[in-house]
Structure 1
Amino acid sequence: MYRLFFWVYVALFHIVALFHKKARKIIEGQRNSWSILTVLNPEKDYLWLHASSLGEFEQGRPLMEAIARSHPQYSILLSFYSPSGYEVQKNYRGADVVCYLPFDTRCNVKRFISLVQPKAAFFIKYEFWPNYLKELNKRDIPVYLVSGIFRKNQLFFKPWGGFYRKLLRHFSAFFVQNEGSKALLKSVALSNKVYITGDTRCDRVMDIAAQAPEQELIKEFARDAMVLVAGSTWPEDEKIIIPYVNTQTEWKLIIAPHEIDENHLREIENLLNRPYARYSKMKAEDAARLDCIIIDSFGLLSSVYRYGQAAYIGGGFGAGIHNILEAAVYSIPVLFGPNHARFEEAQALKKAGAAFCINSQNELEDKLDNFLASNKALAQAGEKAGAYVKEKAGGTARILEVLNRDLFKA
């Protein structure tokens, strides 16, 4: 059944690729993967890490870098499914090889694994490709799930989910984020190889915060000001943030849209009624006169959050919120829209009083006005955010401890 379904999926995907740029990039990238893989050094031992997209990459990155430091005899192959991961990280220096993952067909899987011959495979968070898992298991190659998170509504835990439950048995160990995930795996008799290691992104954002360079123009812009940093925003987010900032002049705004194409940037500019500039066009003399900065380049957001007194994270009025830990690490409160239920860190930060769900412009106004009126409330929420990240850091070391015992043993 899966084989038939997946061949139909692949056929439809190729049709969609004729009209859809992202799908076309995936097809072209997968074709190019074979030329990349045919030049692998057969004398090297490869560890294979797969991340669906950029967010999963950020979860796997601390482990990749920790393994590279402690076990430099291994080479690392990093694969992606999505262009949003591959196109941004295709030159990532922490991996020896970066490529797209070919579709999960039997022919592709056997060819891929025969070329790579990995000593172990690591799938980040949500990746469960049946043919890859079966072939790895058939060849006695250890498979690990990193920063995994499970929910009771997933097919693994349904009465009719026997096919998917069998896939879980191909994993050598699960490194999961919380007790709930371990309990669910225990319910299907898998608790003996489950380790609660938390979210490795906490390690990553701690590293970013420690190493992030100063952004001098933004530092001057933010001097002695109340600054709201709105990161990874979509139009639905911007329609409630910008009208508020237009009228509440005690807040300055730094906005970093998720998509920075020219049309979207112009839409943001059309909404703004206060002095603004695109970051790429700012000059030193602009910093003091501006009330808003539009970040129009990739790679800056994680270091920009440090200049805010509060952060708004986009995506909550769409498919789901983006990375809130990047902001929380700087000990500032975090706001986001209603679609956040499947994000463990969002639930935990809300419970701690460090994050707040915003369902409307009125709720945004109430919360940000409250922060203006009470420095104590602002500071307490921020302290709780920073404390959460510090408390949850260390997952990479816990994973490496298990791997040193079970995989890298002498």
Structure 2
Amino acid sequence: MMIVVNLAYFLIALLTCPIWIFSMLRTGKWRTDWPGRFGRVTPKQQQHQNADQKTILIHAVSLGEVNATRHLISLLQEQHPNLNIVLATTTNTGYNRATELFADTLTVARYPFDFSFAVNRFLSKLKPDIVALMELEVWPNFLKICHKRNIPVVVLNGRLTARSYSRYKLALPFVKPTFKRITAVAAQTPDYAERFAGLGVPQNKIHILDTMKWDTAQPGPDIKPENNTVPGSDEIATSFNLDLNRPTIVAGSTGPGEEQLIVTALKNLDINLIIVPRKPERFDEVATIDPACIRRSVVKNQSSTHTKLTGSTRGATPPFFLLDTLGELRKAYALADLVIVGRSFNGWGGSDPIEPIALGKPVIIGPDTHNFANAVAAFKQAQGILICKPDNLTQTVQELLQNPAHRSTLAQNGQSVIHSRQGSTQKHIDLILKNLPST
């Protein structure tokens, strides 16, 4: 069966090569760890491995999933220092972020393509006793090889959207054996749990444990917004030369079409507007909305070469500031008087609203929120978020800027929801340890 899957992968890669080669050249993604993508693990990547200890392999696909592992890994290291932890990532941004966060304390490796030879090479080198997949990322060869090696595979923070579920259902005879091999699923919601069951995971292996994002946000015990700060945010404000007499609006994790919508809606307001696109490959595209925008990558370099950034350098009222450096969204959120959460005005399902709310920020989100439907519903019920249609964005922002009391109430209500939902990460750890082989 694995030979058939390998052949299918090869044919798909061959037929689509003009598309993905052009895409990789255009975005720069061809600069990657190719040996790692074919299962090779270097001695340097194994520097924290100890053959006498149990090994947990955690797979986090990209930047967002890597960030979601922070609290999980911290608790595991604190509570069970006798365990080896390996964090494997797929994308370049995820790998860079994982290296930045964890390179000094655990093994960071590249997750391989699902060719059987690559998976076998990868698992033989790292020798995990259990595998934890963040959110989903189920691959047939990987699951089958783990099953043959008696390596349990658990899904953490399990999420299966209606769109993904409908696609899997089209190929149910092929995907069902793979899902049946999953040892346990920690689903975020009852809806997700039902979908995992519909794809073949036995009901007794599915546990509804909420999302670990409530814990990853880590708001302080005092829910007053002015007490929430993030190291490095002041440096962003300085490099942008923000006028602190103006309110600052941060549009975070935006998607195609939204940056133009936001710039147009807010262009006549006396504000600092910081836009943070979700995908790095879109930075140059977003900058073309108005060439007068101030790019973080440019002013950061100018600051490092001691070029003084004056008001005349940046323009009296720039159309927007573009945060085109990675790993700084949280810092930008800390500067905000108001946050607009992206991918929610263009039908892409919404980005994560939990992090800015945890920082004590009033948050506006668009009507497309199915990626975080459970969290948005909880915030909405507690009046801790504003859902806004694209046509009403200008008016909604103006009203909030004119009403500091409403902004404060939104932020405090939202933080109260987060406090009430925390504790999921410990339940996920308990599930991992429950399925960790004892011998």
Q: What TM-score, normalized to structure 2?
A: 0.78
2:98 equivalent to 1:89: yes
For 2:259, which of 238, 247, 267 is the aligned residue? 238
* Matched residue, 1:205: 217
Q: CA 1:79–1:10 in 2, change beyond 3 Å: closer, same or farther? A: farther
Cα-to-partner distance string for 1:56-109 (whole Å, 9 max, x where unaligned): 222233222222222222222222222231233334426632222221122222
For 2:151, which of 130, 141, 147 is the aligned residue? 141
CA distance in 1, matches of 2:396, 2:409: 14
* Matched ranges for 1:69-84 at <5 A: 69-84=78-93
Displacement of 1:269: 4.5
Q: CA 1:61–1:159 in 2, change beyond 3 Å: closer, same or farther? A: same
Contact 1:76 1:97 in 2 (8 A): yes
Displacement of 1:171: 1.9
Contact 2:86 2:108 in 1 (8 A): yes
CA distance in 2, matches of 1:207, 1:145: 26
Deviates most, 80-89 or 399-408: 399-408
Contact 1:17 1:24 in 2 (8 A): no
Letter in 2 for 1:366: Q
Aligned partner of residue 112 in structure 2, secondary structure: coil
Deviates most, 336-345 or 362-371: 336-345
Displacement of 1:32: 7.2
* Matched residue, 2:355: 326
* Matched residue, 2:422: 393
CA distance in 2, matches of 1:354, 1:207: 14
Contact 1:155 1:164 in 2 (8 A): no
CA distance in 1, matches of 2:422, 2:406: 25
CA distance in 2, matches of 1:327, 1:264: 25
CA distance in 2, matches of 1:392, 1:133: 32
Cα-to-partner distance string for 1:234-277 (whole Å, 9 max, x where unaligned): 5622212223333122x3323334438874464254366xxx68
* Matched residue, 1:311: 339
2:8 equivalent to 1:5: yes
Q: CA 1:150–1:233 in 2, change beyond 3 Å: closer, same or farther? A: closer
CA distance in 1, matches of 2:158, 2:14: 30
Contact 2:102 2:108 in 1 (8 A): no
Letter in 1 for 2:182: F
* Matched residue, 2:189: 178
Cα-to-partner distance string for 1:210-229 (whole Å, 9 max, x where unaligned): 77216336389475643211
Contact 1:13 1:23 in 2 (8 A): no
Q: CA 1:178–1:403 in 2, change beyond 3 Å: closer, same or farther? A: same
CA distance in 1, matches of 2:359, 2:5: 45
Q: CA 1:116–1:376 in 2, change beyond 3 Å: closer, same or farther? A: same
Aligned partner of residue 394 in structure 2, secondary structure: helix
Q: CA 1:341–1:161 in 2, change beyond 3 Å: closer, same or farther? A: same
Letter in 2 for 1:43: A
Letter in 1 for 2:335: Y
Cα-to-partner distance string for 1:283-339 (whole Å, 9 max, x where unaligned): 58759x767644343332202212322211223326453332221212323223454
Contact 1:371 1:378 in 2 (8 A): yes
Aligned partner of residue 144 in structure 1, secondary structure: strand
2:272 equivalent to 1:252: yes
Letter in 1 for 2:231: P
* Matched residue, 1:343: 372
Which stretches in structure 2 are left out of the alignment for 5+ residues?
221-226
For 1:34, which of 40, 51, 74 is the aligned residue? 40
Letter in 2 for 1:216: D
Contact 2:228 2:360 in 1 (8 A): no
Q: CA 1:268–1:387 in 2, change beyond 3 Å: closer, same or farther? A: farther
Counting matched residue pairs gives 405
Deviates most, 261-270 or 139-148: 261-270
Q: CA RMSD in A?
A: 3.7
* Matched residue, 2:411: 382
Contact 1:313 1:334 in 2 (8 A): yes
Aligned partner of residue 79 in structure 1, secondary structure: strand
Q: What TM-score, normalized to structure 1?
A: 0.83
Letter in 2 for 1:226: P
Q: CA 1:32–1:103 in 2, change beyond 3 Å: closer, same or farther? A: closer
* Matched residue, 2:204: 192
Displacement of 1:393: 2.3
CA distance in 1, matches of 2:260, 2:37: 40
Letter in 2 for 1:98: V
CA distance in 1, matches of 2:136, 2:433: 24
Identical aligned pairs, as a percentage?
Answer: 21
Q: CA 1:118–1:260 in 2, change beyond 3 Å: closer, same or farther? A: closer
Contact 1:53 1:85 in 2 (8 A): yes
